[in-house]
Structure formats: C-alpha cells, structure tokens
Structure 1
Amino acid sequence: MSDNHSVSSETSQASSLESYTARESMENNVNGDIITMTLTNNYSQLEKQETNKSLAKSNNDLNVQYYSGLKLALIQISLNLAVFVIAMDISIVAAPLETISEQFKKYSLSSWIMSAYSFSSAMGCTLWSRISVKIGKKLSIIVAILGFEIGSLITATSTNMYMLIVGRVIQGISGSGLNTVSFIISSTLVPEEKRAFLLSLLSLSFTIGSVTPILGGALSEAYKDGWRLCFYINLPIGLIAFLLFNTVYNDGESMSILEIFKKVAYVHKYNIKSFGKKMVAKKTYAKILVELLVSFDMVNFLFISSGFILFLLAVTFAGGFQAGWHWYEANCIAMLVVGPILVFLGLVYDCFYYFKVVEYLRAKYSDIIDFPPDTEIGPLMTEKLFFNFKILSTNIVALFVCLANGCQSVYIIQYFQLLFNYSPLIASCNYMPSMLSISSFVLFTGFVISKTGRIKEMIIMSAITGLLGNGLLTILKDTSNEAEKLIFVFLGGIAFGFVAQSSLMSAQRELNPKDKRYRMDFVSVTGYNMFNKQLGLCIGSVFSTMIFNTSVINKIKVDFPQYSYLRADSLIAFRRHNFDGRHSPFSKMLAKCIQNVFYFATGVSVIPLIFCWFVSAKKILTKKQIKKIKEREQADDTASTNDIDIDSKEA
C-alpha cells in the first residue's frame, strides 16, 4: 500500500514540472519575455491542460489551500495574536525579574525565569513541526494555545519560584508550537510570491511583542503583585486567537473541536474489554514504536534536547557561581563534554541512520500495522540542512545574528538599570529604539522581497549591520550622552529585522518541489529555522549572563573586596539601595562588565559576515513576473484555441 502511495505521490509531484521550470527559468534570466516564450514553445495546449490537472492533484496531496479576502485576514490576525503573545512572554519578565526574585527570596534561581522558557521553547520547535504533520496544523495550533493558557495560569498563580518555573516550562513548550506552526501555516496560506508579506507580519508581531518589557516594568511598579498581570494578560489574548482561528481556518486534515468533544462524551459507550485486549496486543506496541521512531523521530529529539540542555545548564550553573558548580569540577566538565557529543550523535542519526531504521521497521511491521505513508516519513533534521551548504550557511547566519540579539535584549536593559539606576519601566523605555529598528526593518525586508524577489541581499545586510551595531554598543559607557545611547541602541536591532523572515525564505527556496520528500523537507526546514532562532536567543542569554557574572565576580574580588559577598543575580537590588552615582568607580566597573558582553556579541557577529556570501541566490517570483507569465499563457491559450477551430473547419 505504501509503495502505491509513493508511486502516485512521485507522479503527481513530477507533474509540477512546468511550474517549477517556469520559476527556475525566471531566476536565471533577466528578461521575462524570454521566459514566457520558452514556456510557449515547450508546451502545447493539451500538455498544459494535463499539467494543470496533475498540479491540482499534487496540491491536494500536499494539503495546499490558498486563502484570500476576509478569511485570509482573520486567519492572519489569529496567527499574529498567537505569535505576539509568545514574544510578549519571552521578554515581559525582563523588567520585573528582580521584583519576582525578591518576592520569592530565590535570587539564585532568577535566571531560570527566562531560561526555563527559552530551553523548553527551543527544544520543542522541531517536534511541533512533526506534530503538525501527524495531527494536522489546525489541531496543533489549538493544542498549543490551550497548553500556553494553562502554563500562563500556573505562572500567574505561583506561590513559589519552583511553581513559577514549571509554568514557564509549559509556556515554552506550548509557545514553540504556536511559533513554529504559525510560520508553517502562514507559509502555505498564499502562493510563494505573496509569502514574504505574511511572514513579515508574523515577524512584526513577534517584534511588537518583544517591546513588552515596558509593560512588565509598568505592571511591576504599579503594586506588589503587579508582575502576575504579565501572565494573566495572556489569557484573553489567547482566547481571541483560539476563537478566530478555530472558526475560520480549515486544513482538511485535523479533527474539529466538536468531533473531539463527541469522542470524549461517548467514551462510556466504548467496549472496555475490547479496549483492554487492544492495549496488550503486539499490534498496539508496534504502532507506538513506529510512531515514536518514524513519525516523531524521538531518537533525534532526545539526543538533541538532552545534549543542549546539559551543555547550557553547565554554562548557567558554572557561570553563575552556584555552590558545587565550577568549571574545573567533574560534574561541570562531564556535562560540557557529554552535551555536545549527544547533539552530534543526534545529527549523525538523522543524516545516516534514520531511513535505515525506517526500512527495518517497515519490513518487520508493515504486515501487521498501517505503516506511515512516504509523504509523512522524514527526519526531524533532514540531511539537506547540513549537506546543502547554502541552507547550512543561511541557518548559521540566523543562529549567530539571534545569538548576538539575545545578548543585547538582556544587557541593554541592565545597562540602564545598573549604571543609571533607572526603574524597570524607564530602563525598558530606553530599549525602545532597538524594538523600533527591528519592527521597521522587518517590514522593510518583507516589502523589498515581495517587490524584487531578492532574499540574499537582505541576509548580507543583516550580517553587515549586525557587526556594525554590536560593535557600536561596545562604545556605550557611563559617560555616553543621550544621542549616543539612542543611535547605538537603534542600530543594534537592525540585523535581527533583516534576518527574521529572509533566512526562512532562503532555506525554503533551496528545496526542490519535484522531490518526493518535498513536503516533509519543507516542514523540517521551517521547524529547524524556528528552532535555530530560538536556540540563538537562548544561547545568547545564557552566555551573556555567564560572561557578565564572571566579569563582575572577578572585578569585585580585585577592586571591591568589601562587596565580595555579592552575586550577580542580587546586584540590581543592591545597586538600587546603594546607588553612588553613574560616574563612581563601582559604576565604571559595571560598565566594563557590560562592555565585555557586547564584545562577545561583536565577536560572534563576525561569523554571519563570513557565511552570508554562501546563502542561496535564488529569487522568488514577484507579482509582476507572475502576471506576465499568466498573460503570455492566456495569449497562447487563445491562439491554440483558434488553431483548433481552424483545423476543425478544414476537416
């Protein structure tokens, strides 16, 4: 059965040759008229009719359904709300971080308020892309929204730091689903030439949500438990997104909410005895094994997630000078070594052994269970991510641009709080220029791509402005004037605005629509791009904290031994109650520690500048080019029809 499905899939996808050839030809030739003439000469009227039928069948196989008008607007609004709320939850706690830690008397765990979300969010990205294939994109978004709401409620009602961290983990796992599946859905709502605009809207929503440290600062200053409103506010926004999305969007593959409720409501009618027999049957365990290893690729997920968590935990604990954790101790060294090894094993498994395992399981169990069809089989991290150097280069650029931005997002706010003794609200307001630059250049990038079809140039600009922006941030000191602070903070955010959707479109553009694995590769590349960006932000946050903590502790021991009892996570509270002016020796010491973070961000920004030249140079078709091709095809159709009429009359 699976072989027949594979053959039909290959036939239907191969039939999209005309569309693919047109696109490739348009990229390789400047003159659109040459392209349309080539199309006209290569295909007769009959061939075009057959191609259109086959292409329609192929689109149905891939669950492609384009939207327009009010439905498209409502779906996009719901996705924007979903992306906005997860971005808001990433950054809203940056300002009230010290307030929360002080209330729960757990300064040593303060970094986990953000790290718990980042860790779980990054690790869930690739898995959610696969869940969306298995249960459908619509149901995936609904489940992710409900999970995010539950996590927000737990976090808002927390009675201790541990309960809050658990809520943040649930938020992170669900938020990664909202982020990843939203971009997958938005990439399939409209044809490729219109995709840049929708992706830029999602990236803009993410950026606007990232402005919420201002809201978090305002709420935390309003009253004692004001920080809880930072999480309560998620509930109405998530509800609106849920209602809009569930009402309008239909992917043709997900169960409706009504169908799910019916199954739950009539559970008492199921034959419990028969159900018990099924649970102990070999077929059931074979099905579970195949789903875990084939459909969800859990081997890779466990290797990758465990590896990154071990590595980042070691950096967090050792860099934060936690008791029993030092760089030279066995537990820290073991985690720093084992973590990367596990990540490497996960990549090797997906690139070389995943399909061997699939064939082994197919031979063993295909006679007793319905084996997943070929269109749903593929590794979480397809080998194209690493063997296609253009896709690899794109993801490297995105990773390190986001890593540098992760450093900025934490320590620009800390710069204003520690050196100028600004309140959380005022410090967040001074971070606004960065958010403004990201928002502006997200829209600018989407506009340029949609008008010119050029993607590579946007990625190159991201690399150049990243190095420039982070380099200028190293100039910020206790003596910087208002103009310098405004300009440097603004320039620091431009790189992220350029790379937000251009990296995703560049990676997707390298995939071959004629490939029978196109659908799964598309999902894998999209999911990995989301994972890559989240991982970059997470690593940037963890490494910048480690660099700052180490710098502070070392400098305090040498220059201010009377304060040797201080730890970095209690520094803000100490600084607020013992502020001695922005130009004091203590302030200058803090300025140098923050400067070290920006030096690190500048150093990693060199890497995107190297790899940006190797990303794909392929362009997407613009609206004008699509219109020109359609006009030429219509003219050709008319001419062919006239020729047929003449031949009929002569006969």
Structure 2
Amino acid sequence: GIPLILCTISIILSIFLTAIDQTVVITALAGIEEAFGGASQIGWSTAGYVLPMAVLALFWGRFGLVMGRKSSVLISIFFFEVGSLICALSKSMGMFIGGRVITGIGAGGIQTNVFMISSEITPLNQRGIIIAFVTMSLIPAAVIGPVIGGLFTSSKTLTWRWCFYINLPFGGVAALFLSLLYKPKNDKSRFIWNWNKTIFKRLVNTFDLVGVLLVGISLVLFLVGCSLGGTGLNGFNKPVTICFTIIGGVLFLCFIYYEFYCYKVNQEMHYYPMLPKELIFKRQVLAPGLIMLLSNMVFNGSSIYISIYFENLLGNSPSRTGVHLLPMILPTILTTMISGLICSKVGIVKPVLIFGSICGVISSGLITMLNYHSSDGEKIGFLFLVGFSFGFFNQASMIAAQLSVSEDQTDYTLIITSFTAFMRSFGASLGGIVLTSIYSNTVNKELQKYPQFREETVDQILKNGSLQGFDQHEASILINALSIGLKWVFHSILILSVSCLFISFTTSNARVPQKKKEDTDIVEA
C-alpha cells in the first residue's frame, strides 16, 4: 500500500544520499584545498568517509539486530546529518576530515540497515524487486556525485559547502518518513538496561565488542596499508606499508578465530557472534558473499578508472565525463530491475549469477582494449557491457545467501543480510584502494625512466590528472605512462571477474519459493 511505497522511497533516498556523498567530493577537492590548504591531507577527505563505512558495516548489522532496525537506521541518519553539517561549517582541514569520518560512520549504518529493512518488509518471493530498487539508487550516484560537486564548486553564488548542506533536508525527510511509516512487528530492543555490575559484560557480549574492535582495527590497518602502497615511489616496499598490511591481516585472522571458536553463544541472552561459524562456513552463504565482494571491487574500480580514462587521458571535464559514463549506468539500472524480477517471479538465482559473471568476464576483457585512440563506438559498446553485467549481481547474491536459511529464521536472515552488505561495502572500498595502488605504482615506475619527472611532480599529476604546463614531448610521455597504468588496472579487473565466474558455479541451486511459505520448501543443492 501507500505506507510501504513511502517507506521504500525513504530508505532509497537514505541510501542514495550515502552513495552520492562518496563521490561528490571528487570534483570539489580543488575548492576544499583552496579553502584550507593541506594538500598532503586532502586524500583523507575520501578515505575518512570510505573507511568507517566499510569497517563498521558488521557492527551496524549487529546493532540493528539487537536494538532494532528502526532505531539503528535513525541513529545512523543522525550521524550522517551531523557529519554533513560539520563538513559544511568546517574552518580547517582537520575539522573537515573529522566531519567526513562521522558522515562515514552514519553512512555505514544506513547502508547496512537499509538492506536489512528491505529484507524484512517483504516476503522472500518479492524481495528481489525491492532490493533491486534499493540497488538501482546506488548506481547513478557514481555519475551524479562528481557532476553536483563540480557545479557547486564552480558556481558564482554557491560553494563546495553546498555539497554537504544539501544532505540536511533530504536526510531529514527520509528520517521523518521512516519514523512514521516503518512499523515492524519484531523490531524491539533486546538489550536489558539493568544498571548493575553485569552490565559491562552484557554490553560486551550482546554487541560483540571484542569482535568489533578486532575487525575494525584490522580492516583500518589493512586498508590504510594498501592505500599507502600507492603513494610515492615503491610505496609497497616502505616499512610502514608492510607493517600496516601484515598486522592488519594477522588481526583479521584473530577476529575470525575469536568469532568461530571463542565467542560463547547464549540464545536466552541474545548473545550471537557477528559471523556465526555455522552460517559463514556454508557454501550457500560464503560463495554469494565472495561474489558480492568481487563484483563490487570490479564495478567500483571500473567506475573510478573509466572516469580517470576520460578525464586524465582524454582531458574531459567532470560533467562531460558523467555524460560519457551514461552508457555504463543506464544498462546497469535496466539489468538490476530485470534480474530482480527474474529472481522474484521465476525463482532462479544461480543462473542469474552465472550469466552475469560470464558477461562480466567479456566486458572486463573488452575494457583492456581501451586506449587513447579508441573510437566512440568502442567506448560506448565496452561501457554498455560493463554496466549490463553488474546489474545481475547485488540482489541475486543477497537472495542466494538468504536462501540458505528458512524464511522464519529472522535472526539468521538478518545476520546473513548484514554479512552480504558488509561484503558489498568492503568490496567497493577495497577495489578502489587496491586498484589505486596498482595504478599509482605502475605510473610511477614508468616515469622513473625520465629524470625530468620528480616524485612530487608525479604525485601531483596522479592527484589532479592535469597535463597542463608540460610541453608536447612531456605530455606524450605522460599519456603513455597513464595508458600503461590504466592497462594494468583493467587487467587486474579482468582477473577479479574471472574469479567471480568460477565462484558463481559453486553457489546453491536453491530457488525462491513462488507460493506461500507454508506450502513450499526451499530445496538446496
């Protein structure tokens, strides 16, 4: 009815804001740097948002399970709004980055809880459609964000600060609709606030705080280590990069060991680990989770570096680049809706994932052929296939994982949804960071052959992509180096796509039930 439609619109608006906020600063960086200086810190305006969004996704899933999805998403929106206001009112680079971190914390909660709410307000045989609508709202943000940032930054009457002011009214409307229209039956807080000597123990166990700390610290160290690997010459050989990456990996293994073997489950007290061993070890859950991770690494990496191809290599403006990306965005929206309908109305999931993976391998292979002299027809055709393939993954992966438990196991369904939402966020973040490191190191290595390009000059080129100030010979050298860097990135994306294809064959053969739950069973492979 109308309340369900308005509730769906509000969660779509909420998650769209988080997605657009991730890309809006790309074209606003020049204005922000001009206002505050601090060129060496400007990269954290993006990393400060992306890192907490990915790292805290599992915690927000746990928080939503314990405190209720409605309370959790409203608190997340509050963090998002406060962070946006701090960014808009910033007086220094440190204040701005702090605001981005708070915004990222809220964005992680919004994205995780929106997928949980989407899975809760609809039955399994209709879930593919609503998840498709939610997923579709994320896709245009890759194009719209940089365009909005560029328009505000170049405006004579507005400034880059309006990139963040604009979040306030839309976030307020989303929060109002959710608070009035989202009325779940089993969404009450499970935590008993008895202020006695056991409350600390109950807080630690209920929210799995040890697991939160381990996964949070490990992922931050690992992602920062990967990010540092893309700075300067031979970034991955620097001791700080090696230490951060290795320590982060070891701590993540400690997190897995703690979750699987040390955490004490107590169903009466609602003590559950964030990653229950009996769920995550299931092929039916792990395989879709890995597909979610790899497909978002591929799509986010493709979006970033196809944009860099148009801006840095071909010299297009951000707004014109957005137009060039439409052949990738539009088919993604179309196939997202089609795959959602197939999963819900036909009931098949595995064939959708396999078909999408095959298309992904073909499209990833084709974009390795992009170069400075590619024709318009090649650009449009290659980008169309990239977008066409990605639309088959997100909702099909999430539904495939949810089919591993019966529909009446609400807690396990929400835990699985939280896990797949985490893999989506982490994949998008990891893809951007790892591929950036590959790109930066490759370009640096190529330019080391020419003494006129010093390390700081290369870093400046990689940051703003400008070839101005170089003569024709130097510009030719730079174009060649950037082309080689992009080639390495696109070949890495191809490897990820092939891995995704192999994993898609291991997913369950379970089908979405087309009748009422009591009349049908889910038969797994």
Output the TM-score relative to the length of structure 1: 0.74
Higher deviation after alignment, 160-169 or 179-188: 160-169
Report the Cα distance in structure 1 between the residues aligned to 2:342 and 2:328, rounded to whole angstroms.
21
Q: Go from structure 1 to structure 2 and tell me whether the alpha carbon gap of 1:506 and 1:428 turns closer, same or farther (over 3 Å shift).
A: same
Alpha-carbon spacing, 1:434–1:109, altered in 2? closer, same or farther (3 Å): farther
Q: Residues of 2 paired with 1:508 and 1:291: CA distance?
A: 28
Instruction: Give unpaired runs (5+ residues) of structure 2.
Output: 521-525
The answer to whether the Cα contact below 8 Å between 1:144 and 1:175 also exists between their aligned partners in 2 is: yes
**Aligned-pair CA distance for 1:321:** 2.1
* Residue matched to 1:286: 198
Q: Write the mapping of 1:335-414 to structure 2, written as runs, cut at 5 A.
A: 335-355=244-264, 358=265, 373=268, 376-414=270-308
CA RMSD of aligned residues (A): 2.6
1:461 alignment counterpart: 355
- State the shift of 1:200 in Å: 0.9
Looking at structure 1, the residues matched to 324 and 228 of structure 2 have their Cα atoms a distance apart, in angstroms, of 30
Q: Is the 8 A contact 1:110 1:569 kept in 2?
A: no
Structure 1 residues 572, 125: closer, same or farther in 2, change over 3 A? closer
Distance in 1, Cα, partners of 2:518 & 2:71? 38
Partners of 1:562 and 1:574 lie apart in 2 by: 14
Match of 1:308 among 219, 236, 244: 219
One-letter amino acid of the counterpart of residue 228, structure 2: F
Task: Indicate which of 531, 539, 543 corresponds to 2:422.
Answer: 531
1:561 is aligned to 452
Cα pair 1:85 1:238 within 8 Å, conserved: yes
Q: Would the aligned equivalents of 1:86 and 1:209 in 2 still touch at CA under 8 Å?
A: no
Of 441, 451, 468, which aligns to 1:550? 441
The equivalent of 1:541 in structure 2 is: 432
SS at match of 1:72: helix
Q: Distance in 2 between matches of 1:593 and 1:328?
A: 19
Distance of 2:88 and 2:328 partners within structure 1: 28
Query: 2 CA distance for matches of 1:454 and 1:201?
Result: 19
Are the equivalent residues in 2 in contact too, given 1:98–1:572 (CA < 8 A)? no
Q: Distance in 2 between matches of 1:616 and 1:315?
A: 33
Q: Distance in 1 between matches of 2:114 and 2:253?
A: 29
Distance in structure 2 (CA, Å) of the matches to 1:348 and 1:627? 36
Partner of 2:104: 172
C-alpha displacement at 1:327, in angstroms?
Answer: 3.1
Deviation at 1:240, TM superposition (A): 0.9
Cα deviation digits, residues 571-606 of structure 1 (max 9, x gap): 454725336679833222212212211111111222
The reply to whether residue 234 of structure 1 matches residue 167 of structure 2 is: yes
**Counterpart Cα distance in 1 of 2:362 and 2:6:** 39
Kindly state the Cα deviation for residue 247 of structure 1 after the two structures are TM-superposed: 1.3
Q: Using the TM superposition, give the Cα deviation of residue 433 of structure 1 relative to its aligned residue in structure 2, in angstroms.
A: 2.1
> Partner residue of 1:110?
42
Percent of aligned positions with the same letter in both sequences?
28
Matching of residues 105-184 of structure 1 within 5 Å? 105-184=37-116
Partners of 2:181 and 2:462 lie apart in 1 by 49
Displacement after TM superposition at 1:627 (Å): 11
CA distance in 1, matches of 2:247, 2:40: 25
Structure-2 change in CA distance of 1:433 and 1:161 (3 Å): farther
Contact 2:52/2:105 (8 A) holds in 1:
yes
Return the alpha-carbon distance in structure 2 between the equivalents of residues 488 and 574 of structure 1: 23
Could you say which residue in structure 2 is the equivalent of 1:647? none
Residue 505 of structure 2 is aligned with which of 613, 634, 639?
613
C-alpha change, 1:471 and 1:162, in structure 2 (3 Å) is: farther
Alignment of 1:548-627 (within 5 A): 548-559=439-450, 561-571=452-462, 573=464, 575-578=466-469, 584-622=476-514, 625-626=515-516
How many residues align? The count is 515
The one-letter code sitting in structure 2 at the alignment partner of 1:287 is I
1:218 CA drift (Å):
2.4
- Cα distance in 2 for residues equivalent to 1:245 and 1:408: 34
Code of the aligned partner of 1:347: I
Which deviations, in whole Å up to 9, do the C-alpha atoms of 1:274-327 show, x marking residues without a partner? xxxxx9x9x6342122222x21111211111111111111121232129xx943
Query: Which AA in structure 2 matches 1:477?
Result: N
Aligned residue type for 2:268: P
In structure 1, which of residues 217, 241, 248 is the aligned counterpart of residue 150 of structure 2? 217
In structure 1, distance between residues paired with 2:202 and 2:50: 30
Residue number among 207, 229, 250 corresponding to 1:296 in the alignment:
207
Q: Name the structure with the higher helix share.
A: 1
Which residue in 1 is equivalent to 2:178? 245
Task: Please give the per-residue CA displacement for 1:149-177, whole angstroms capped at 9, x wherever unaligned.
Answer: 10111112223322222111111111111
Contact 1:125 1:530 in 2 (8 A): yes
Give the distance between the partners of 1:149 and 1:346, measured in 2 at CA. 31
Aligned to 2:229: 318
Change (3 A) 1:301 1:508: same
Question: Gaps (5+ residues) in structure 1?
Answer: 1-68, 257-278, 360-371, 631-651
Matched, 1:327 2:236: yes
Structure 1 CA distance for aligned equivalents of residues 34 and 467 of structure 2: 13
Match of 1:437 among 331, 335, 356: 331
1:428 Cα deviation from its structure 2 partner: 2.4
Once residues 127 and 193 of structure 1 are traced to their aligned partners in structure 2, the CA distance between those partners, rounded to angstroms, is 28
Residues 225-262 of structure 1 deviation map (CA, whole Å, 9 limit, x = unaligned): 63222211111111111111111122356689xxxxxx
Contact kept, 8 Å, 1:88 with 1:209, in 2: the verdict is yes
| 1:70 CA drift (Å) | 1.0
Q: Name the SS for the 1:459 alignment partner.
A: helix
2:440–2:462 contact (8 Å) kept in structure 1: no
| Residues 562 and 331 (structure 1), Cα distance of their counterparts in 2 relative to 1, 3 Å cut | closer
SS at match of 1:605: helix
Aligned to 1:30: none
Q: Is the 8 A contact 1:127 1:301 kept in 2?
A: yes
CA offsets, 1:72-124, max 9 Å, x none? 11111111111111111122223333443454333333332222211101111
Give the distance between the partners of 2:39 and 2:261, measured in 1 at CA: 45
1:202 equivalent among 124, 130, 134: 134
> Pick from 334, 338, 341: which aligns with 1:447?
341
Amino acid at match of 1:240: V
1:537 counterpart letter in structure 2: A
After superposition, the Cα gap between the structure-2 partners of 1:142 and 1:574, relative to the gap in structure 1 and judged at 3 Å, is: closer
Name the TM-score, length of structure 2 as normaliser: 0.91
Q: Distance in 2 between matches of 1:178 and 1:215?
A: 22
Contact residue 314 and residue 336 of structure 1 kept, 8 A: yes
Whole-Å separation in 1 of the counterparts to 2:432 and 2:197: 41
Residue in structure 1 matching 2:12, options 80, 85, 98: 80
Take 2:72 and 2:59, find their aligned partners in 1: how far apart are those partners? 11
